[in-house]
């Protein structure tokens, strides 16, 4: 009987070891997938780094050596700030141009309205000879028959 109890104990241990082995294999697969993903990311970053190095070389060929360390960072910040100021100035200029155009349009329309109102206030002038009316004709009420 003892042999069968030992066999069960061994069987339970073997089952436990198989489950642990399967869990370990699953974990290894997960880690392999993560490693592949990280290798892909590394490859992509290396490509981006090479692109940046090429840009730096082209920049150096055109503008000379890049500033080092803090000077480089300060130069980038200055460049960014300059670009922002120029962008803001262009935006303000655009806004001013649109405002001035709208104001000019408004002034022109106001002048047209004013001329129209002024023309309505002036007494009508006869346009053709022989069509003038006398003061009596103007003041006499017309009666219909």
Model confidence pLDDT, tens digit, residues 120-133? 877 665 555 555 55
Is the model's pTM score more than 0.85?
no
3-state secondary structure 11-49: HHHHHHHHHHHHHHHHHHHHHHHHHHHHHHHHHHHHHHH
Mean pLDDT of 75-93: 79
Alpha-carbon distance values, 95 to 83, 91, 98, 106, 142 (Å): 18, 6, 5, 16, 60
145 has pLDDT over 50: no
Residues in the chain: 145
- The pLDDT value recorded for residue 81 is 80
């Amino acid at each position: 009987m003892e042999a069968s109890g030992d066999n069960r104990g061994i069987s339970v241990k073997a089952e436990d070891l198989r489950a642990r082995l399967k869990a370990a294999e699953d974990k290894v697969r997960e880690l392999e997938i993560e490693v592949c993903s990280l290798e892909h990311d590394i490859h992509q970053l290396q490509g981006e780094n090479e692109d940046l190095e090429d840009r730096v070389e082209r920049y150096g060929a055109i503008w000379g050596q890049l500033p080092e360390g803090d000077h480089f960072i300060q130069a980038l910040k200055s460049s960014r700030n300059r670009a922002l100021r120029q962008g803001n100035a262009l935006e303000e200029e655009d806004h001013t141009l649109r405002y001035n155009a709208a104001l000019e349009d408004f002034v022109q329309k106001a002048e047209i309205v004013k001329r129209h109102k002024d023309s309505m206030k002036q007494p009508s002038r006869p346009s053709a000879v022989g069509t003038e009316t006398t003061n009596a004709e103007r003041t006499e009420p017309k009666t219909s028959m």
